[in-house]
Amino acid sequence: MTITITAFERSPDGGKGLARDTRVRWALEEVGQPYEVRLVSFRAMKEPAHLALHPFGQIPTYEEGGLALFETGAIVFHIAQRHAGLLPADAHARARAITWMFAALSTVEPPILELGTARILEGDKPWTRERLPLVEGRVRDRLKQLSARLGNADWLDGAFSAGDLMMVSVLLRLRSSGILDEYPNLAAYVARGEARAAYKRAFADQAAINTRP
Ligand SMILES: N[C@@H](CCC(=O)N[C@@H](CS)C(=O)NCC(=O)O)C(=O)O
C-alpha cells in the first residue's frame, strides 16, 4: 500500500530539515519503505480537506490505505511497529525505546520549542531580554540530565532505535542556538544521527523541495 505523507510546500527553515516531515522521512528511510509526499501550502493546511487529516492544520500527516495519522510520535511509532529496524525485539528493550520516544517529545522538546518561540516569535518584545535566560536555563537543565544519562554511549539504550531518532530530531532544533555544543557528548550524538545513511537521504529529499528556486 502506498504511503503518503504531507510536508510544507516550502518550509520556513529554507531546507535545514527542521520541519517535522524530516523525522517521518527518516523513519521511513530507516525501515526501507518507499513513500510519496504531498506538498501543502500554509493556506491549504487550514482548509477542510487537510483539517480532516490533521485537526490542528499542521504537517506532517501519514496516509496508508484507509489509515490516516497525525502527530510525529504516533506516526514514527506506527512505522516502527510495522517494520523491522527501529524497535528492538526484546520486550523490555522495546518498551525502553518507546519510553525514549515519549521522553523526547514530552520532556525534552517542550523547553526547546519554548526557546524557539522566545527567540524568534517574541524576540522583539520588551520582556524577552529578561525571559530568555530563564528559558535557556530550562533547556540547559534538560540537556545536562540527558548528557549525564547518555555518557559515553553511542545511543540512549543499546542499539539505535526510534527513541534515538526522535531525540536527535528534537535536539537538532537547538543547533543554531549554540547551546547543544555546550554538551559535547550530545553534539556528537546528534552528529551520529545525522551521519546515518537514512537520515542523509531524508534530509536530501526535504532539502530538494525547500531549496528549489
Ligand atoms: N506535535 C506535532 C507538531 C506538528 C507541527 O508543529 N508542525 C509544524 C511544522 S514542523 C506546522 O505544521 N506548523 C504550521 C502551523 O502550525 O500552522 C507533531 O509532532 O507532529
CATH number of residue 14's parent domain: 3.40.30.10
- CB-based contacts of 49, cutoff 8 Å, min separation 6: none
On whether both 141 and 204 belong to a single domain, the answer is: no
- Name the residue of 58, 108, 113 whose CB sits within 8 Å of the most ligand 1 atoms, as the mutation to test its pocket: 58
Establish whether the linkage from the previous residue to 213 is cis, with ω within 30° of 0: no
Instruction: Output the ligand 1 site: residues, CB below 6 A.
Output: 19-20, 45, 57-59, 71-72
User: Using CA positions, which residue lies closest to atom 18 of ligand 1?
Assistant: 71
pLDDT digits 0-9 by tens, 175-206: 999 999 999 999 999 999 999 999 999 999 99
CA of 153 to the centre of ligand 1 (A): 31
SS3 of residue 3 by DSSP:
strand
Do 179 and 118 form a contact (C-beta atoms < 8 A)? no
CATH code for position 138: 1.20.1050.10
User: pLDDT by residue (tens digit) across 32-66?
Assistant: 999 999 999 999 999 999 999 999 999 999 999 99
Answer yes or no: do 172 and 101 share one domain. yes
Residues 112 and 46 in one domain: no
Are 15 and 56 in a shared domain? yes
Verdict on whether the full-model pTM lies above 0.85: yes
What are the CA-CA distances from residue 74 to residues 46, 78, 190 (Å)? 21, 6, 22
Name the domain count of the chain. Answer: 2
Q: Are residues 105 and 174 in the same domain?
A: yes
d(CA 54, CA 115): 25
Q: Domain range for residue 43?
A: 3-85+198-211
